[in-house]
Structure 1
Amino acid sequence: MEHLDDVSISGLEGNVLIQVKNEAKPLGDLNVGFWNTLANWASVSDDDSIREFVFATTAAQIVGNIPRALSIEGSSPRLKYFRRHLDPLSSEDTSVNDDIEIVKALPDARLCHLLERMRIEQPGSAKALLAKTKNALRWDKVFPERALASAAREFGGWFHLTVLEALDNKRGARIHAGEVLDRLEKIRNRFAGEGRVYQFGNAAVSQDERAACHDRLFVQQLKSIELPTMALDDALVDFLREQRERAEWAHDLTVLREDLARFDDELLDRWRHNHRDVAQRRSQVDEKWNGRQLYDDLMDKPPPELGREVPPQYVYRGSYHRLADAPRIGWHPRWEEMFGALSDDEHVTAPDSEPSDE
């Protein structure tokens, strides 16, 4: 498992890591953690370890005059100021005092290097920090202001406790990147779905995008019931817009996985109910007509809830096309025979068999 400070990735996850490294300001009295961190840094040659990151991001909150050294220009005056305030410091806690003595014993060159690495910009006002958090994590699209503040506090508190626990146990503050991202996802999920914005209802869909879908299974299924050309084009547009929305949900974690599963289950239940009706009528009229009837009946229904709200119609219809593309559902009465079927315990991927020429 990679460590947080060893990871360099792009996209949202990269923004998350940048945010964690630059904005996750631990809270409360950090004197013990401060000195433990200094001692760890002084005794370990891993200059890029997260121990230094923790020290740098907590230094501005240390009680006393030491943080003033970080704002002094010039390495020599900065070191002199730091030494002057460092020398009289001691602690009744033996372990903390030992750490202080280790730092006092650092040679000037090492201490200068440490101070240079410690120099960070002041965090600014809470409002400015909140704005930067919203911008980096795109949480402004997910949470209302109050929930955003709660989510940020929860993550900051967890991060702080995790770091201090590691330091108190003398293990060094190494946090797996996966742990950080998992925790962020859990916190986001708890607040997700409030005031969600659907972005692609009016998004343009190019002819090239349409053409790229012509061989997809959901299109072949619609052609098997001879869906009219205009209705087929509408289906392509709904499918592509729903794909974009779903990609955005995965990107921003704005929809709970459990809610997505319940939404798909509701679509499947509706399809099974209507499909049984069609199966009972298949010998009475043309099979393709039956398939179109099944399709029209389902497309005309109002969407079920997705989380705590009802999604737009194009998300509902596009979700059916996604299920047909798997294929977990079909429109033609003999769709399983013609296109194969994906069992409920399989992932939604490509079909097991290629569509026939029927």
Structure 2
Amino acid sequence: MSKDKSFSDKTSADDKSIGFDYQYYYFLDKVLNLKTGQSAGLEVKDDVHTELDVDVNILFQIKHTVQTSAAGDPIALTELDSDLWKTLYNWSQFICDKSQGRGTSREQLKYLEKTEFHLVSNKTSSAKNKFLSFVESYQCGDETFDALYSHIESLGQKAEDANIKSYIQSVLKLSKTVCKKFFQRIRFELILNDVIGRVKQSILEKIIDADKIDQVFSRLDSNIRADNFMAVKRGEAIQISFEQFMQRYKRIFDDGRTKKLVFPPFTPDLPDDIFAQRFIKCLLAINDITISGEELAIDYTKYKLRLATYLNQWVQTGDLVMDEVHEFHDEVFARWRNEFRAAFRGCSTASDIVDAALLMLNTLRRERFTLGDTELNTSLSNGELYYLSDIERIGWHRDWEVK
């Protein structure tokens, strides 16, 4: 079978999607590192940008590749890389944008005084890339700008790709004074492959316990993605200040630092036969549900499964120890026993018994049980009742233990 990629493979939506996600997570990391008075934007002034104090901007061009070397690492950024020169071209156009009042060298230099340009990529660096070495040596004072400029001219002559050749020529159209300043303001951030890991490190540095980082990351990621989507629908730019970030998402970090339990969303796998569960049979026995009420039975089953799953997860992650779980079950059992002992006094007929059982069940369903420092919501509190009923510790009918 041929190993050549088809046209559809080369333009795969997956490749584009991971590039967008890479850009988004870089933006998220910048948001997490904002300070008072600063802001960050996504696809506003550039792929990503930050506005720092005293009107200083940092523009980030984000380039992700799925191409790998023979060793399995992302490919290296080459001297005549399209990502490199298209980025420098874009920035050169920003610098001399007449519509923004930067038609003269004087205005361009003023713009450069307050702007930095960062090329960010998961591509690796290479000793063969003399251009990057020239830029670094020039910025350190070990190489003259004339030597750097001459090397760029030689690359323009060497380039075989017409687009890359035109990108280089456009950069060189800047006046030498502007071009000199421009190359002082360029930074390269390569080999950034684990951008999500960087985001999680930034969350950790917000004084979040290591075992809560994934929970905070998941909630933050979900909420910011949703807010970005709604902003785009409203025709608004995706830009957020430190103050806005604190106002909108502070609660997520507060929850990450609290000892209160958190409830990550998940959908439990349902049993094949909903009505074969013991706790469902107990509810059928007192006419709380009927065989035709499968939707309600499914909801109650989800409550039970979520409660049981959370208890297991919290023990596994160390948020609870097993004796706390036992104490929780014992407390709910004690409340049930008090209600059960009082429920059937004076009942003489089967109908009276069923009515009393329903009244007791409805009373307990209104309870909000507490586990550690956390008050459970109604569905999880109900789930605990169904769980205890399922393991035959409690029941509703007066004769529930009679086999």
Tell whether the structures are fold-level matches, with TM greater than 0.5: no
TM-score of the aligned structures, taking structure 1 as reference length: 0.38
Greater relative contact order, per chain length (Cα 8 Å cut-off, separation 6+):
1
**Length-normalised TM-score, structure 2:** 0.35
Question: Going by fraction, where is strand more abundant, 1 or 2?
Answer: 2
Compare CA radii of gyration and give the structure with the larger one.
2
Name the one with the larger helix percent: 1
